[in-house]
Amino acid sequence: MGIKPYPNFFMKAKKSLGQNFLIDNNVINKIIDEVSACKDDLIIEIGPGRGALTSKLKNKGCNVIAYELDNDLSNILSKLEDNKLRVIYGDFLKSDIKEDIKDIKYNNLYLVGNLPYYITTPIIEHIIDENIEFSKFTIMIQKEVADRFMAEAGTKDYGFITLVLKYYFNISKVCDVSKYSFNPVPKVESSVVSFVPRKDKLDVDADGYFKFLKNAFRQKRKNLRNNLNGLYDLDMVLQALNKYGLDLSVRAESLDEEILVNIYKSVTQ
């Protein structure tokens, strides 16, 4: 049985900081295996909490930097700290990652975190904005959100956010996680997913493409004619759609990335 009570129950979890601590060793081990760092690599852990992942990440033998917002956890985390593990007490969302890691030599950078779900999007945005090169970012998120992030065209979960993330990353699911794998037990089910920066980058500018996507998906039930009318040249949109045997009556949610990128290119040429 993988689930066992964590020894530091005397410290109450802080709901306001989204503290639901992992107590399921099967899940912990799956995350640890997914972070395929070697001894010359660097791991950044976001929100180490009581160290459920941290102690095992240390076993990989590489440097680990952990960002924890809750100072009260220092009495637990300080026991793990040594010349390979540094805990930075503060808000990861305000961190200057490049500055924090500038003195560490490493081959590959891995990021990992089990964080409050209300900061899932800000965390991903911060990592994109910080513009750091990394090999993989493994994160626990709400299952429903994972379904949206990884949705295929034509499904109900597919939308603007799916395509924005796809612009940057290949996303894969590591495992689904039952709410009983945490203490305290949260309300929602979870999934662990990995983000790997995309090597085959799209040759379109992010700002213009995202604005186009926002418009195309503006009203989910409306077709492209309605959503793009007055904003883009509909003749050019139709020309691009015709190459795929489609017309302006399609909805954005049924179009895959290749088609949407081609429409965007045709209206910005």
Which residue ranges make up the site for ligand SAM (CB under 6 A)?
17-22, 46-50, 52-53, 67-70, 91-93, 114-116, 119
Residue 69 or 216 having the CB closest to ligand SAM: 69
Q: How many CB atoms lie within 10 A of CB 11?
A: 15
- Minimum CB–partner distance for residue 94 and ligand SAM (Å): 8
Residue 79 or 243 having the CB closest to ligand SAM: 79
Q: Is the dihedral of CA 14, 176, 77, 119 positive or negative?
A: negative
- Minimum CB–partner distance for residue 40 and ligand SAM (Å): 24
- Characterize the bridge pairing of strands 136-142 and 190-197: antiparallel
Residue 18 or 197 having the CB closest to ligand SAM: 18
Residue 67 or 149 having the CB closest to ligand SAM: 67
- Minimum CB–partner distance for residue 82 and ligand SAM (Å): 19
> In the chain, how long is the greatest CA-to-CA distance?
66
- Minimum CB–partner distance for residue 16 and ligand SAM (Å): 9
Residue 46 or 213 having the CB closest to ligand SAM: 46
Residue 46 or 263 having the CB closest to ligand SAM: 46
- Minimum CB–partner distance for residue 74 and ligand SAM (Å): 11
Residue 62 or 69 having the CB closest to ligand SAM: 69
Backbone angles phi, psi at 77, to 5 degrees: -70, -30
Beta strands in the chain (DSSP E): 21-22, 42-46, 63-68, 85-89, 109-114, 136-142, 169-177, 182-183, 190-197
b/e for 221-254, b at 16 or more Cβ within 10 A?
A: eebbeebbeeebebebbbebbeeeebebeebbbe
- Minimum CB–partner distance for residue 109 and ligand SAM (Å): 18
Q: CB–CB of 228/157 below 8 Å?
A: no
DSSP string, 143-210: HHHHHHHTPPTTSTT-SHHHHHHHHHEEEEEEEEE-GGGEES--SS-EEEEEEEE-SS--SS-HHHHH
- Minimum CB–partner distance for residue 55 and ligand SAM (Å): 11
